[in-house]
Amino acid sequence: MKKNIAVLPGDGIGPEVTAQAVRVLKTIAKKFNHEFEFKEGLVGAAAIDKTGDPLPDETLELCKSSDAILFGSIGDPKYDNDPKAKIRPEQGLLKLRKSLGLFANIRPIMVFDSLKNKSPLKNEILDNVDFVVFRELTGGIYFGEHSRPTKTSARDVSEYTKEEIERIAILAFDSAKARKSVGLKGKVTVVDKANVLETSRLWRETIQEFSKGYTEIEVEFMYVDNAAMQIIRNPKNFDVILTENMFGDILTDEASMIAGSLGVLPSASVGNGISLFEPIHGSYPQAAGKNIANPIGAILSAAMLLGIAFKLEKESQAIYKAVKKTLEEGYGTIDINSTNPISTEEIANEISENLS
């Protein structure tokens, strides 16, 4: 198989962890006789510094002409600490999602047995935790009208349409169906705030009608405040979580702590065409250039790229198994192995060795 992959390293630790993900993909290409071509583009603060634009036209065109996108991270303290900045790194990612029609973010939440002691939760709570969150990406309060009518008031509008809800529901319910076929629960938990918000009432009404086409799937509705508690109290209860943009943003960051480190979890942003794959961690500028960042989230994002974008499930699983074996052997960067840490490059070495 021959495929073109756009590589957008971004800011902070993004270039370091993305380089290791590319390295693992090259190992996969050699092992399974594929040909992957990688082309880099600027995005985020790095792009602002060089072009004044967080998503230059050249980068957008590169993404549109590729078969998939491997994304690093965006963000820089000089923008984070300046609330009045009119051009921000995050605008590049939002524009990219909108331009490519990336309407669904998929985040698997899994617990490696070898990392259970790194989680803030008790081991017995972590047993059999395996769920995935489908977060709507292009609607809601992030993309509604934002205004400051007066100096002492502000306004943010949240809007959704039935069509926006149904298109991500298809992905979530199909995922639950596939998971049920391999022995998992086959349940979709819809997270909303329907006791207060009209948009949530639209979500609930739409899913109640939509789910009639998936009679084999169990459906439950849960208010977002309760969901936030249950993710910590009883995470094994969840199978597929389906929710809107802002709720999904908050809940997925909360759920990521179950795994013991932000550094080990991947994500995918998908739509009707080209998909984007990125680790869930931020740019972590304090670690940039020190070769200490955990590349596993980026490497598992590359595994998701193979499975979702290229339908190479065998190759995707090979990466996951190599990561699992590496962790079981006791290797880890400082976030998961404080007593005997190895570097970003060294753990990628071990994963590549286990792949070979």
Annotated catalytic residues are 142, 193, 225, 249, 253
β partners of residue 136: 104
SS3 call for 99 = helix
Measured CA to CA, the distance from residue 337 to residue 326 in angstroms comes to: 12
SS3 call for 132 = strand
Measured CA to CA, the distance from residue 277 to residue 322 in angstroms comes to: 19
Handedness of CA 31, 6, 67, 70 (dihedral sign): positive
Measured CA to CA, the distance from residue 94 to residue 72 in angstroms comes to: 14
Helix then strand then coil, % of the chain, to nearest 5: 50, 20, 30
Side chain identity at 17, as an amino acid letter? V
The answer to whether the beta carbons of residues 97 and 63 sit under 8 Å apart is no
Which H or E element spans position 10?
strand 2-10
Measured CA to CA, the distance from residue 168 to residue 136 in angstroms comes to: 7
Measured CA to CA, the distance from residue 325 to residue 318 in angstroms comes to: 11
Query: What totals of helices (H) and strands (E) does the chain contain, helices first?
Result: 13, 12
Side chain identity at 342, as an amino acid letter? I
